[in-house]
Structure 1
Amino acid sequence: MNCSIWVSGMVFAGSALSSFYANADFLKDTKASLDTRNFYMNRDFRQDNAPQSKAEEWAQGFLLRYESGFTAGTVGFGFDALGLVGVKLDSSPDRSGSGLLLRDRESPRRAQDEYGELGVTAKMRISKTVLKVGTLTPKLPLLQANDSRLLPQTFRGGQLNSLEVLGLTVDAGRLTKVNQRDSTDNEDISISTVGVKNFKPQQLASNNFDFASFSYKWTDQLTAGYGYGHLDNVYDQHVFTLNHVAPLSGGSTFKSDVRFARSTELSSSQVDNRALEAMFTYTLGSQAFGLGHQRMSGDSGYAYISGTDAFLVNFVQVNDFANVSERSWQARYDYNFAAMGLPGLTFMTRYLTGDNIDLGANRPEGKEWERDTDIAYVIQGGPLKNVGIKWRNATVRSTNFGSDIDENRLILSYSIPL
């Protein structure tokens, strides 16, 4: 046999075999699912002179999630994809604005019949470090993408996650655009002005949000963390966290969740806030009892990205209890009905009250309270196994500011592995 032909054949065979194993590794860890959500929401505004009597809409959502594995080798490559589609089932111009559906550009009070988007993320792995660039849904103390409506909020940017040191989790990156949960547009990232925040309106948005987060697990029971966030030309933020779970007799536990955040202005945005929070939860069998306190100080309310879930113990279904100088308390109770022979059925209720809200000179203090109840059931067997049903109810009342709201959400969900 001609030597050059033999060598060429071996090289080709080696490349093919290498490609086969790389692709096999790439495919082995690939995951895909189709999540469906049927979402009804009714928000009834109870205060006098409300501009709209209620927001009431019904919609169907589809979320196609794809996560590839990584190619073999020292440096592995892969990609993720997120396909989102929302379909209007019921809405009208006098009841729109629930956050479920995209509003029509030419007629903002009317919801579009359907909307959708596709997000793609490229990723690279070296050892225990992964870099992702593209569509992201971060869940960090500095920024938590919201997924409480029909479709999730997404961001565009890059994020690095590293687990190289045992017990230490490092996240860092930059986000440049946000796509809100009822939108298909990538927009500048802005600070939330919901409630009484006292931010200066001239500079509240940016196209750069930089972040770095460190979390270290000292023991199986104790974890501490620090995070830094920088919304360019708007604010800087430092977040400190401490979580401890103490095992007690009889299988019960006592969990402590303590947080402190310091937010300061950039370019005269008037951000100046200190947030001290703590949540303590005692779990006994199928029951959990929680007590939380949250205290705001400084010249402004708490700073967080618009549309996201604020990293606050009293950020709940409707309110964030993070207004200027606000002090708030929470009492919470959870029950798992598996103890009564009904696995899959859970219950939660909580009550929060806040006062001392600074509404400005010569105005009385603002006060508010909120009561939430969640009942959820996941079918455990049969042809409808893993179908989830959740009812969420909230009642909100305020004094001297804000809206009075009665709210109900009914969510039917199902995830199909592909």
Structure 2
Amino acid sequence: MKLSNTAILALAISSITAGAHAESVSQDFMPTQLASTSAQSEAKGFIDGQSLSGSTRNWYANEEKKRGGTFSYERHGETLTGSRRINWVQGTILNYTSGFTQGTVGISTEVAAYNAIALDRSREDIKGGSNRTLAHSNGDAVDQWSKLGLANVKARISNTTLTAGRMNFSSPIVDVIGNRPLPSSFEGVAIHSEEFDNLSFDLATFDRVSPRTEQSLSKFRTEYSNTGVETDHVNTAGVNYQPLKSLKTSLYATQAEDFWNQYYFGATHELGDSSVLSLTTGLNYYKTVDEGKKLMGEIDNDTYSLSFGLTHQAHTLTFSYQEVNGNEYFDYLHETNGIYLANSLLSDFNGPNEKSFQIAYGINMAEYGIPGLKFNAYSARGWGIDGTHYVGTAYDVRSMDGEHHYEYGIGSSYAVQSGPLKATTIRATYTTHRASENQADGSINEFRLVTTIPFNIL
């Protein structure tokens, strides 16, 4: 990975700033040793450890395209357009999880039913459906629909668990995405091991994804491909290691069969005392190369982000630089959150050869006597997008020559602290994105209001 002069300068300035303050976050080395406790030894039994819980989410989004952009939809065989799209959906999850049976090998199961109700069913509002509102082929909203979101069996020895079936899974390359009324999930087999205090392992293979707004399972495809090619198998392995109390690292490798091999390294380091001044440094790096039959064409892509967050009591100011080195998009698997880059916002700022910079500010009102209330604002700009040297067929980027764009957003969230609605969250955001002629994300304003209420039955 080649860091730009901008990133190197930012790193130097931040290091000097942090060094001027007391290092209250421990920098002690953490020796790797066996975990002192075993999760399986504390198993309560299949029935005694069971739980029935869930959540319901009210998800509203109002988008308006600018600079002549439009959404399209069908009515009576005629294609109509409009600049505004509205989606309003209630998503509910009911999750049953058994306890683990007692003994050397514990067995457990998990089943979750997902249900969605379209609260806005206007064909004109939803504009033919999307990954926000499920719609029939004629563009009418599906009034309500349900599916099995999770259905798996687990076997556990000590602190190592094998899961088979449809599951949640989280890693920097294959990760559940939950930014809609319902989340995605994956079907396959996974092993997660925490046999050491500061070292954990993941190993998994998946053949299908359950999308956020679809009733059926799908093969994997990529987020930015314009060819629609699919793959049957995604294999991933990784390790999470904490060498210092202040430093966490991750290393993962994933094969999307006949697409690519993708490698990830990430690190987060904390320094200083937030009551005075603390520095959180984050590095995310992806290397992507073509694999097998090369259904996505030739790929050789290096992408990284580097962020520095300064915190003083309730206030956090973060600077993030991101760079794509490659003539194609930095791409990731569709219906995953496999993009742990600092500038992945409404836009991913991941165009070919793109550079981007973000400034973000957040305030935690708990410091001022209102726990649970937070505000944030950010501004991000991307430039230098150049796809003119791309020779493949998977991406529509050749018209991108010096493209640029910017985005800014404000948001507020509140989490209920006590009472029957404890842990209920309300989140409101307003985002503006403006783009040059051939930048893919276009010019759009979006307002979202999302309320999530968790509940426990058993």
Q: Same fold (TM over 0.5)?
A: yes
Contact persistence 1:359–1:366 (CA under 8 A): no
Partner of 2:416: 379
| Secondary structure in 2 matching 1:130 | strand
1: CA distance between counterparts of 2:399 and 2:280?
A: 42
| Secondary structure in 2 matching 1:33 | strand
Instruction: Describe the shift of the 1:298–1:340 C-alpha distance in structure 2 as closer, same or farther (beyond 3 A).
Output: same
**Alignment RMSD:** 2.1
Match of 2:334 among 306, 311, 331: 306
Contact persistence 2:431–2:446 (CA under 8 A): yes
Instruction: Describe the shift of the 1:30–1:399 C-alpha distance in structure 2 as closer, same or farther (beyond 3 A).
Output: same
Contact persistence 1:59–1:150 (CA under 8 A): yes
Q: CA deviation at 1:112?
A: 0.2
Q: CA deviation at 1:205?
A: 1.6
Partner of 2:455: 416
Partner of 2:443: 404
Contact persistence 1:365–1:400 (CA under 8 A): no
Match of 2:180 among 149, 173, 189: 149
Contact persistence 1:355–1:365 (CA under 8 A): yes
Partner of 2:22: none
Contact persistence 2:309–2:317 (CA under 8 A): yes
Instruction: Describe the shift of the 1:24–1:170 C-alpha distance in structure 2 as closer, same or farther (beyond 3 A).
Output: closer
CA deviations 1:29-70 (Å, max 9, x no partner) are 333312011111111111315244222021211111222221
Contact persistence 2:147–2:215 (CA under 8 A): yes
Match of 2:374 among 346, 367, 390: 346
Match of 1:101 among 126, 129, 133: 133
2: CA distance between counterparts of 1:331 and 1:22?
A: 46
Contact persistence 1:212–1:229 (CA under 8 A): yes
Match of 2:198 among 140, 143, 167: 167
Partner of 2:23: none
Match of 1:323 among 331, 341, 351: 351
Alignment of 1:225 with 2:256, yes or no, is no
Residue type matched to 1:411 in 2? V
Q: Unaligned regions of 5+ residues in structure 2, if any?
A: 1-40, 73-82, 389-397
Partner of 1:389: 426
Alignment of 1:176 with 2:207, yes or no, is yes
Q: CA deviation at 1:384?
A: 4.3
| Secondary structure in 2 matching 1:163 | strand
2: CA distance between counterparts of 1:375 and 1:128?
A: 38
Match of 1:248 among 245, 264, 273: 273
Alignment of 1:188 with 2:219, yes or no, is yes
Instruction: Describe the shift of the 1:179–1:350 C-alpha distance in structure 2 as closer, same or farther (beyond 3 A).
Output: same
Contact persistence 2:43–2:99 (CA under 8 A): no
Partner of 2:391: none
Match of 2:157 among 110, 114, 126: 126
Instruction: Describe the shift of the 1:265–1:344 C-alpha distance in structure 2 as closer, same or farther (beyond 3 A).
Output: same
Match of 1:73 among 99, 103, 109: 103
Structural mapping, 1:45-64, within 5 Å: 45-52=65-72, 53-64=83-94
Partner of 1:90: 120
1: CA distance between counterparts of 2:164 and 2:367?
A: 44
Contact persistence 1:276–1:294 (CA under 8 A): yes
Instruction: Describe the shift of the 1:284–1:363 C-alpha distance in structure 2 as closer, same or farther (beyond 3 A).
Output: closer
Match of 1:110 among 125, 128, 140: 140
2: CA distance between counterparts of 1:384 and 1:249?
A: 30
Structural mapping, 1:33-52, within 5 Å: 33-52=53-72
2: CA distance between counterparts of 1:210 and 1:58?
A: 35
Partner of 1:276: 304
Q: CA deviation at 1:256?
A: 0.9
Contact persistence 1:88–1:112 (CA under 8 A): yes
1: CA distance between counterparts of 2:276 and 2:130?
A: 42
| Secondary structure in 2 matching 1:25 | coil
1: CA distance between counterparts of 2:196 and 2:371?
A: 38
TM-score normalised by L of structure 1: 0.88
Match of 1:216 among 241, 244, 247: 241
2: CA distance between counterparts of 1:262 and 1:135?
A: 28
Residue type matched to 2:186 in 1? F
Q: Unaligned regions of 5+ residues in structure 1, if any?
A: 1-20, 194-198
TM-score normalised by L of structure 2: 0.81
Instruction: Describe the shift of the 1:282–1:275 C-alpha distance in structure 2 as closer, same or farther (beyond 3 A).
Output: same
Q: CA deviation at 1:349?
A: 1.2
CA deviations 1:96-128 (Å, max 9, x no partner) are 235332111x42x22100111113110000111
Residue type matched to 2:364 in 1? N
1: CA distance between counterparts of 2:274 and 2:65?
A: 47
Q: How many residues align?
A: 389
Q: CA deviation at 1:247?
A: 2.4
Contact persistence 2:284–2:340 (CA under 8 A): no
Residue type matched to 2:88 in 1? W
Q: CA deviation at 1:84?
A: 0.5
Residue type matched to 1:375 in 2? S
1: CA distance between counterparts of 2:62 and 2:402?
A: 29
Contact persistence 1:349–1:372 (CA under 8 A): yes
1: CA distance between counterparts of 2:340 and 2:399?
A: 32
Residue type matched to 1:159 in 2? A
Q: CA deviation at 1:73?
A: 0.7
2: CA distance between counterparts of 1:351 and 1:51?
A: 26
Q: CA deviation at 1:249?
A: 7.2
Identity of aligned residues (%): 25
Q: CA deviation at 1:382?
A: 4.8
Contact persistence 2:71–2:84 (CA under 8 A): no
Partner of 1:11: none
Contact persistence 2:249–2:267 (CA under 8 A): yes
2: CA distance between counterparts of 1:223 and 1:256?
A: 11
Contact persistence 1:86–1:115 (CA under 8 A): yes
